[in-house]
């Protein structure tokens, strides 16, 4: 029986292990497999497993073969080489190579991906003495076939009497083996996972001690705990594992197979069957990328515009309809179907890969590299069924798009753009004083608190009035604030905004002033990244706006050099883009680990998933947090749970979390989900009331999102909720216009620091400039940035 299973495993092993036995290359299993099946990569006889009478081809030990691949030069163990001659292994030590999973990066809970690289540097680091090399050579000459050696061990009935020193050295050798990153990586090829590897080695050690002839021990001991010893033992270890652990191997294989995220291009066979033309509108901000892509969108018989933000999707929806092209709107929260419309403006998460389009536009394509949302852009690019796909974005993902198009077989046309007008850095700065703000300025701050502090300070100390835009505001309110700012007929001539203005919005901004260049990343204050600085600064001086010439500067002189550095930095080249499994993939995976809680399942998936080198698994800690909370709601199917967990909710807002919990609980009882939330009577009179309005809107937004995922009978109050949401968005708008309160806790904080009466003051710049240039270097010159 065991042999039967082993036979199956060996067949599987032979067919799988056609790629060089390195974890880094597990991702390319499939590729190499198909390459192999179509066109055998080796003309050297391969070792076969699985037939009734396996043909054992004797090869010298130093050419020991796994499938068609060779662990070459065992004696010198310089590298692992595949039969195609590709050399991949040891030189990468110490570098993070571009393949395998990135789970180590994304999972802050310290989940280690079973398939990710382990440090193979051990191999190179070990000092190999002349005598042990000599001993290794002798060992390899003596035992030329690992299979023979394994058989001999298996059949042996004598336990050798070892001397204490031999026993100690053997232990050291096996200890070294267990620590070997190289061996752990190679073992993955036979589906010995990283967590099981130490157990397998320990069992192998016991087996070896139990069965090994004294002569073999005496030949091995002089080699000592070295890589050479590991290389010698490894093929024997493989034989042992295949025979000893068929169940573990089978289990791990099924898990790995169902967590396979390699070859994402093949997930969309219909898109692959098409000859698509991809047009990449590549350039910096304000260079006309979206404008040109939208021209093609509007000319087409039918089209799809995929936006990074609800606000932009709404803007395109309005603009296109005004121009007489019927266009519907589709976001997570709203479906506005325009009769006879053949065009759709949607948020990128809502992309359907089922519809056929003549033209699709994917805006801000560089977002493919976003750690959390990247997968939506990747899916759109790989899966859209459109004759023409227009990508708008900066050059950071150009190379990877080229690679993806080569994989999909799509034609790629590149259109390069320059900024209409160069962005100019004002070296004078605001000299630390918000009184120097001018009409048409957008002051950018990176927290809600700072935004209000700046607004209040400007309104108190100058005659300017401020609009505000930040992430927690509903898109309708952001839009109302943007219109108020753009409209020249009122007193609102300054905008105070967070990085939420960074994408695509067309605002009448003359100058972008960075209030600070640091932001809180959830853990600590960090400098804002160069690409984000560019994106935000690029909001100044839009073509067709009142201020076609863009200026940018900082509030404080000490931040200026960092701003210039960011603007002058070339775009980073992205090497990996985001992926996330579809529900069906999670479902298949779940079948391998029955009874596992959903949050643990996601964690487990992250641990076992297999990715090609150009992809990473998107972060989903937010989803896991919701999943944890919803563990207490019984009776949800996996799919229902999946949908609830992806609902947009602010996990730091206990009220929002409570309502989501309530929605899920009511739904699980198959009762109509109601909203049970009081409406505020008027606009907010202080920051606490404003926060409450924001929070209420977010809860309503979650309800609307869920109503689009589930049946109407479960979420029957959509109209009522929509009306409430509109009402609250209006109240928020009114509140922002009236807002003149002081930020309470800030005041307390200032009191605590004995700074009462000192007026407005920004905390000192947090950017520590390493290469601080002298002020004279810039003087009051204006520095144009291309
Ligand atoms: N050929 C054109 N004729 C008239 N207006 C144009 C033209 N090209 C661009 N514009 C206008 O210039 C402004 C910036 O263009 P667009 O939004 O396309 O830039 P972008 O490169 O997509 O910028 P971002 O990276 O910030 O999204 C818009 O207001 C757009 O309407
Ligand atoms: Mg654009």
**What are the tens digits of pLDDT across the range 478-501?**
989 999 999 888 899 999 999 888
Which ligand approaches the C-alpha of residue 293 most closely?
A: 1
Decide whether any atom of ligand 1 lies within 6 Å of the 481 Cβ.
Answer: no
Nearest CA to ligand 1 atom 26: 285
Q: How far is the CA of 295 from the centre of ligand 2 (A)?
A: 13
Task: Single out the residue of 519, 499, 462, 495 nearest to residue 763, CA to CA.
Answer: 519
Q: How far is the CA of 368 from the centre of ligand 1 (A)?
A: 22
Atom of ligand 1 nearest to the CA of 542: 13
Strand order in the sheet with 343-347: 335-336, 327-330, 343-347, 303-307, 356-362, 385-393, 277-282, 411-416
Decide whether any atom of ligand 1 lies within 6 Å of the 392 Cβ.
Answer: yes
DSSP state of 651: T
Atom of ligand 1 nearest to the CA of 393: 25
pLDDT at 496: 96
Cα separation, 208 vs 241, whole angstroms: 13
DSSP state of 433: -
Measured in whole angstroms, the distance separating CA 230 from the mean position of its chain's CA atoms is 36
Decide whether any atom of ligand 1 lies within 6 Å of the 366 Cβ.
Answer: no
Alpha helical stretches, state H, 646-717: 654-668, 687-709
Distances (CA, A) of 675 to 48, 664, 693, 695: 64, 12, 15, 14
Are 21 and 189 in contact, with CB atoms under 8 Å apart? Answer: yes
Nearest CA to ligand 1 atom 13: 543
Decide whether any atom of ligand 1 lies within 6 Å of the 286 Cβ.
Answer: yes
For residue 246 the two structure tokens come to: 């068929």
DSSP state of 334: -
Nearest CA to ligand 1 atom 11: 543
SS3 label, residue 527: strand
Q: How far is the CA of 164 from the centre of ligand 2 (A)?
A: 73
Q: How far is the CA of 294 from the centre of ligand 1 (A)?
A: 10
Neighbouring-strand partners of residue 444: 497, 514
Nearest CA to ligand 1 atom 9: 288
Atom of ligand 1 nearest to the CA of 417: 21
Q: What share of the chain is helix, strand, coil (3-state, %, to 5)?
A: 50, 10, 40
Task: Single out the residue of 268, 262, 260 nearest to residue 592, CA to CA.
Answer: 260
pLDDT at 522: 75
Decide whether any atom of ligand 1 lies within 6 Å of the 486 Cβ.
Answer: no
Which ligand approaches the C-alpha of residue 289 most closely?
A: 1
Decide whether any atom of ligand 1 lies within 6 Å of the 531 Cβ.
Answer: no
Decide whether any atom of ligand 1 lies within 6 Å of the 641 Cβ.
Answer: no
SS3 label, residue 582: coil
Distances (CA, A) of 340 to 301, 336, 359, 418, 573: 12, 12, 17, 37, 42
Decide whether any atom of ligand 1 lies within 6 Å of the 374 Cβ.
Answer: no
* Strand pairing category for 551-554 and 423-426: parallel
- Count other Cβ atoms within 10 Å, centred on residue 303: 26
- Count other Cβ atoms within 10 Å, centred on residue 564: 18
Atom of ligand 1 nearest to the CA of 288: 18
pLDDT at 373: 94
Cα separation, 363 vs 371, whole angstroms: 17
Q: How far is the CA of 382 from the centre of ligand 1 (A)?
A: 26
Q: How far is the CA of 314 from the centre of ligand 1 (A)?
A: 17
Atom of ligand 1 nearest to the CA of 283: 21
Q: How far is the CA of 568 from the centre of ligand 1 (A)?
A: 22
Q: How far is the CA of 363 from the centre of ligand 2 (A)?
A: 6
Task: Single out the residue of 293, 349, 303, 351 nearest to residue 327, CA to CA.
Answer: 303
Q: How far is the CA of 505 from the centre of ligand 1 (A)?
A: 10
Nearest CA to ligand 1 atom 7: 288
DSSP state of 353: S
Decide whether any atom of ligand 1 lies within 6 Å of the 287 Cβ.
Answer: yes
pLDDT at 126: 46
SS3 label, residue 785: strand
The residue count of the chain comes to 786
Backbone angles phi, psi at 771, to 5 degrees: -110, 70
Decide whether any atom of ligand 1 lies within 6 Å of the 504 Cβ.
Answer: yes
Helix (H) or strand (E) holding 269: helix 269-273
Atom of ligand 1 nearest to the CA of 545: 29
Nearest CA to ligand 1 atom 4: 544
Which ligand approaches the C-alpha of residue 545 most closely?
A: 1
Give the mutation target among 288, 306, 548 for probing the ligand 1 site: most ligand atoms within 8 A of CB: 288
Decide whether any atom of ligand 1 lies within 6 Å of the 291 Cβ.
Answer: yes
Alpha helical stretches, state H, 409-541: 448-461, 475-486, 530-537
Q: How far is the CA of 488 from the centre of ligand 1 (A)?
A: 20
Nearest CA to ligand 1 atom 16: 288
Nearest CA to ligand 1 atom 23: 286
Which ligand approaches the C-alpha of residue 286 most closely?
A: 1
Give the mutation target among 280, 290, 537 for probing the ligand 1 site: most ligand atoms within 8 A of CB: 290
34's CB contacts (< 8 A; 6+ apart) are: none
Decide whether any atom of ligand 1 lies within 6 Å of the 571 Cβ.
Answer: no
Q: Above 0.95 for ipTM, yes or no?
A: yes
Q: How far is the CA of 731 from the centre of ligand 1 (A)?
A: 32
Nearest CA to ligand 1 atom 24: 285
Nearest CA to ligand 1 atom 14: 286
Nearest CA to ligand 1 atom 31: 291
pLDDT at 69: 30
Atom of ligand 1 nearest to the CA of 287: 21
Nearest CA to ligand 1 atom 8: 288
Please identify every stretch of the chain with a pLDDT value under 70, giving residue numbers as ranges. Answer: 1-129, 504-505, 741-786
Cα separation, 459 vs 465, whole angstroms: 6
| Burial per residue of 616-626, b for 16 or more beta-carbon CB atoms within 10 angstroms, e otherwise | bbbbbebbbbb
């Amino acid at each position: 029986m065991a042999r039967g299973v082993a036979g199956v495993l060996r067949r599987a092993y032979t067919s799988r292990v056609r790629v060089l036995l390195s974890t880094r290359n597990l991702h390319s299993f499939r590729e190499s497999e198909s390459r192999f099946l179509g066109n055998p990569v080796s003309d050297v006889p391969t070792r076969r497993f699985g037939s009734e009478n396996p043909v054992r081809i004797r090869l010298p030990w130093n050419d020991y073969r796994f499938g068609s691949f060779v662990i070459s030069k065992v004696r010198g163990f310089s590298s692992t080489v595949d039969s195609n001659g590709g050399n991949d292994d040891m030189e990468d030590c110490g570098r993070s190579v571009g393949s395998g999973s990135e789970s180590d990066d994304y999972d802050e809970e310290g989940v280690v991906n079973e398939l990710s690289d382990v440090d193979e540097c051990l191999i190179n680091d070990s000092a190999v003495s002349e005598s042990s090399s000599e001993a290794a050579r002798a060992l390899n000459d003596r035992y030329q076939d690992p299979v023979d050696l394994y058989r001999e061990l298996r059949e042996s009935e004598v336990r050798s009497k070892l001397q204490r020193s031999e026993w100690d050295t053997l232990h050291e050798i096996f200890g070294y083996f267990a620590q070997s990153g190289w061996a752990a990586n190679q073992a993955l090829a036979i589906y010995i996972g990283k967590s099981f590897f130490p157990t397998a080695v320990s069992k192998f050690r016991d087996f070896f001690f139990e069965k090994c002839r004294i002569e073999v021990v005496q030949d091995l001991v002089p080699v000592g705990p070295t890589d050479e010893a590991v290389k010698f033992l490894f093929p024997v270890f493989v034989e042992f594992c295949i025979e000893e652990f068929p169940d573990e191997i089978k289990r791990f294989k099924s898990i790995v197979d169902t967590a396979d995220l390699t070859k994402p291009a093949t997930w969309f066979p219909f898109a692959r069957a098409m000859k698509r033309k991809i047009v990449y509108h590549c350039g910096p901000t304000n260079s006309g990328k979206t404008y040109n892509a939208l021209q093609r969108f509007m000319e087409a018989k039918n089209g799809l515009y995929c936006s990074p933000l609800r606000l932009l999707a709404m803007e395109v929806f309005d603009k296109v309809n005004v121009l007489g092209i019927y266009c519907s709107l589709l976001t997570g929260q709203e479906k506005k179907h325009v009769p006879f419309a053949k065009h759709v403006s949607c948020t990128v998460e809502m992309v359907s890969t089922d519809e056929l389009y003549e033209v699709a536009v994917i805006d801000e394509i560089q977002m493919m590299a976003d750690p959390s949302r990247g997968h939506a852009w990747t899916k759109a690019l790989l899966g859209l069924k459109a004759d023409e796909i227009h990508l708008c974005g900066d050059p950071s993902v150009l190379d990877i798009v080229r690679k993806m198009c080569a994989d999909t077989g799509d034609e790629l046309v590149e259109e390069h753009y320059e900024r209409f007008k160069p962005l100019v850095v004002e070296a004078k700065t605001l000299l630390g004083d918000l009184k120097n703000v001018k009409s048409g300025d957008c002051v950018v701050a990176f927290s809600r608190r700072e935004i209000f502090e700046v607004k209040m300070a400007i309104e108190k100390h100058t005659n300017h009035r401020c609009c505000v835009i930040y992430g927690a505001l509903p898109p309708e309110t952001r839009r109302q604030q943007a219109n108020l700012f753009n409209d020249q007929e009122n007193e609102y001539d300054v905008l105070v905004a967070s990085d939420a203005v960074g994408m695509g919005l067309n605002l009448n901004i003359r100058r972008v002033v960075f209030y600070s260049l640091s932001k809180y990343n959830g853990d600590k204050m960090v400098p804002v990244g160069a690409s984000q600085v560019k994106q935000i600064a690029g909001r100044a001086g839009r073509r067709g706006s009142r201020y076609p010439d863009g200026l940018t500067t900082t509030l404080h002189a000490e931040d200026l050099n960092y701003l210039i550095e960011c603007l002058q930095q070339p775009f980073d080249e992205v090497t990996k883009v985001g992926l996330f499994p579809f529900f069906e993939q999670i479902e298949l995976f779940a079948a391998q680990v029955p009874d596992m809680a959903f949050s643990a399942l996601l964690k487990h998936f992250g641990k076992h998933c297999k990715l090609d080198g150009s992809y990473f698994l998107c972060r989903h800690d937010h989803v896991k947090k919701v999943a944890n909370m919803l563990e207490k709601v019984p009776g949800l199917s996996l799919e229902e749970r999946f949908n609830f967990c992806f609902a947009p909710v602010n996990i730091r807002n206990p009220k929002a979390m409570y309502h989501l919990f309530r929605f899920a609980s009511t739904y699980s009882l198959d009762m109509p989900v109601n909203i049970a939330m009081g409406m505020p009577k008027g606009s907010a009179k202080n920051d606490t009331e404003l926060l409450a309005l924001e929070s209420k809107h977010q809860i309503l937004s979650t309800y609307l999102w869920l109503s689009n995922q589930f049946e109407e009978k479960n979420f029957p109050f959509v109209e009522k909720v929509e009306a409430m949401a509109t009402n609250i968005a209006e109240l928020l708008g009114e509140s922002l216009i009236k807002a003149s309160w002081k930020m309470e806790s800030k005041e307390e904080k200032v009191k605590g620091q004995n700074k009462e009466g000192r007026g407005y003051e920004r905390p000192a710049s947090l950017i520590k400039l390493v290469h601080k240039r002298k002020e004279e270097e810039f003087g009051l010159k204006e520095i144009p940035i291309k």
